[in-house]
Amino acid sequence: MDPIRFVLVFLISLVALVTAKANNTETDDIVWRERALQARQANQQAYEPNPHIVLNHLNSHVHKAFKGYNSTRRGLVGKRHSGPCEATNPIDQCWRCDPHWEKNRKKLADCVLGFGRHTTGGKAGKIYMVTDPSDNDLVNPKPGTLRHAVIQTEPLWIIFARHMVIRLSQELIFTCNKTIDGRGAQIQITNGAGFMIQYVSNVIIHNIKIYDIKVGSGGLVRDSITHYGQRGQSDGDAVSVFGSSNIWLDHLSLSSCYDGLIDVVKGSTAVTISNCHFARHNDVLLFGASDSYSDDKIMQVTLAFNHFGKGLIQRMPRVRYGYTHIVNNDYTNWEMYAIGGSQGPTLLSQGNRFIASDNMNAKEVTKREYTTESVWKNWVWKSEGDVLQNGAFFIQSGDPHHKFVHGPEYIPPKPGQFASTLLSASAGNNMSTPSRKRLMRDFKRLQHDPPAGISGAPQDNNIMLWNAVIFGTLQLSCPDDTPWDGGTFKLTLQFTEDYPNKPPTVRFVSRMFHPNIYADGSICLDILQNQWSPIYDVAAILTSIQSLLCDPNPNSPANSEAARMFSENKREYNRRVREIVEQSWTAD
């Protein structure tokens, strides 16, 4: 080919390529403009003009769930039982208490509370099983991959064939009416892009671990069966909810992403974020991304039963405009502030626990940004039933007489001292530590096969602190005339995260007179000290103490008077013990 002709062919090809790219860009713009318009209409329909209905609905379910949980546990004292459902909050009780939940996965869609309460995800569709963790073809995703599943037009309930670690090459773009259900497998999204829920409605994401998310470079990505187009660079969020409604994010474990863990922006509304665990991150939650985008006034988000754990700095959440209900969450760490905002958002904080760090400059829960007190003093930020510990303080604002719910219809939250209990099954929360898992196992064993004469259970809001009772019944190891017979003796057991490698601190609450029990109720017993072994569980501890009552060791005294009397004047010793037994009948 001669040089002139070659140049002409090249120029014609270049013009064709530029024209095609321009046409594709124009087509992309049309597709996304149509989606944005449809989403805007759906968001307006999802907005709740009477938010107090949502507040009361959630709080009433919490009270009912907690009442049932405590009633079950009270019924276990001294009885054999198959064991209660471990779920403590109403969302988890809704499905976890069904031992055959895998046969009825879609029941999960009936469990959502809060502003996202109408979300059903893929309930109306088929089950789609992800069998392939790869993400290599972004324009024509391989059937069986997660990307292939989320772009289908029909509703789908997406599950996983096995444990998977998935690296997304570019952001995962959802279509409407999808559920990603990670129950029954360990699903990790890491070292790639995150989830983009853009201009859609009705999405559930459940039981997924997302961490170390990177910025996506962009490129051609399919976003539906009928369309693919050019995507720009992604932000590096774990989950971005962009102009969408009826979204439920539940039991997600999120940490260490490039930008935010969860963003709810661009007029999104009817969102519930529940039972999630957040750790090791700076900008945690962003609700409303721009001071100039006033359409976020319709934003309504519920943040419930979440655990804010180690290594968090700020934005839990940071809110612009809209209405955020922050209820029964456990904040155990922040380095700057927990809850912040600008542009006059309405924030109702109910029944949360806020534990400040030891940093004297980070005790305040709240932060108003880019405004003066003369302005923010009118914003409605209220705290009801919150527990503030280690010097934490919450600065309220707005009309001090403002009522979110008026009259007898008002249902108060469960107070903040119960927050950790309500989180007992949350994703990645502190119930997942080895010590707490072991304690739950000890509790189950004690329910299934309780030794005669003992009972014990964790306190309602703290599995690390147990209440126990030893009954002074006649035992094989005791003589028939034991003076302890008929007594009811109360103890506490305080565990640490080192359990079972280290023993708990055990102390009698009831008054005692015994050679191996100190005046403060603590116990001198070898298995609680130098003879401790991880094989001992709660039942073994209590039965050992029970045996100690009638078989003391006066040669290692904690109470020298009782030891001397036991060795030299058994009759007087028995009389003193019987006084203790009689006092135990009437002690509180």
Task: Find out whether the peptide bond into 500 is cis, omega within 30 degrees of 0.
Answer: yes
Q: With contact defined as beta carbons under 8 Å apart, do 264 and 288 qualify?
A: yes
Q: What CATH number is given to the structural domain containing 277?
A: 2.160.20.10
Residue 525 lies in a domain: yes
The rounded radius of gyration (Å) of the Cα atoms in the chain is: 30
Q: Concatenate the DSSP letters of all residues of 112-165 into one string.
A: --GGGTT--TTTTSEEEEE-------SSSPPTTSHHHHHT-SS-EEEEESS-EE
pLDDT at 80: 34
Pairwise CA distance, residues 364 & 228, whole Å? 47
Residues noted as catalytic: 524
Place of tokens 């609450």: 509
pLDDT for residue 407 = 65
Structural domain contains residue 30: no
Instruction: With beta carbons less than 8 A apart as the criterion, state whether 454 and 470 touch.
Output: yes
220 and 360 assigned to the same domain: yes
Closest CA to 215 of 233, 199, 231, 202: 233
Q: How does pLDDT run across 269-317, given as a tens digit for each residue?
A: 999 999 999 999 999 999 999 999 999 999 999 999 999 999 999 999 9
Residue 147 in tokens: 């990307």
492 and 377 co-located in one domain: no
Same domain, 262 and 288: yes
Helix axes 434-448, 538-550, angle to 10 degrees: 60
389 and 299 share one domain: yes
Residue 544 sits in the same domain as residue 578 = yes
Q: What does the longest C-alpha to C-alpha distance in the chain come to? A: 123
Claim to verify: residue 484 and residue 387 sit in the same structural domain: no
pLDDT at 1 (0 to 100): 56
CB atoms within 10 A of CB 106: 17
**Residues 365 and 476 grouped into a single domain:** no
Task: Assign residue 543 the CATH number of its domain.
Answer: 3.10.110.10
- Helices 570-586 & 560-568 angle (0-180, nearest 10): 130
Question: For the whole model, what pTM was predicted?
Answer: 0.72
In a domain, 76, yes or no: no
Instruction: Please tell me the predicted confidence (pLDDT) of residue 165.
Output: 95
Nearest CA among 366, 587, 543, 358 for reference residue 445: 543
- Residue at 518 is within a domain: yes
Specify if 428 maps to a domain. no
Beta-carbon count within 10 A of 490 CB: 16
Q: Residue 525: how many CA atoms within 13 Å on its side-chain side?
A: 27
Alpha carbons 301 and 113: distance in angstroms, whole number: 11
pLDDT, residue 431, reads 47
- The structural domain count of the chain equals 2
Show which of 422, 457, 477 is a domain's final residue. Answer: 422
Secondary structure (DSSP) of 40-54 = HHHHHHH--S-HHHH
- 250 in any annotated domain: yes
Tell whether 404 and 553 lie within a shared domain. Answer: no
Do 451 and 398 fall into the same domain? Answer: no
- pLDDT of 22 reads 45
pLDDT at 68 (0 to 100): 64
Domain final residue, candidates 422, 448, 465: 422
Residue 83 maps to a domain: no
263: tokens are 């963003």
Q: Are both 239 and 284 inside the same structural domain?
A: yes
Beta-strand runs (E) in 261-410: 262-265, 269-274, 277-279, 281-283, 285-287, 300-304, 307-308, 312-314, 318-320, 323-327, 330-331, 339-342, 346-350, 353-355, 366-368, 381-384, 387-389
Whether residue 45 is contained in a domain is answered as: no
Q: How far apart are CA 111 and CA 119, in angstroms?
A: 10
What burial letters (b/e) apply to 168-180, b meaning 16+ CB within 10 Å? bbbbbbbbbbbbb
Q: What is the DSSP letter of 461?
A: T
Domain boundary among 372, 391, 422: 422
Query: Given this model, what pLDDT does residue 7 score?
Result: 54
Residue 485 and residue 398 share a domain: no
Can you list the residues of the chain whose pLDDT is less than 70? 1-27, 68-86, 406-408, 424-432, 460-461, 473-480, 587-588
HEC assignment per residue over 388-408: EECCCECCCECCCCCCCCCHH
For residue 446, the model assigns a pLDDT of: 87
What's residue 28's pLDDT? Answer: 76
Expressed as residue numbers, the domain containing 385 is 90-422
Please tell me whether residues 415 and 459 are part of one structural domain: no
Q: Could you tell me if residue 470 is left (phi over 0), alpha (psi between -120 and 50 degrees) or otherwise beta?
A: beta
Rounded-to-integer distance, Cα 133 and Cα 162, Å: 10
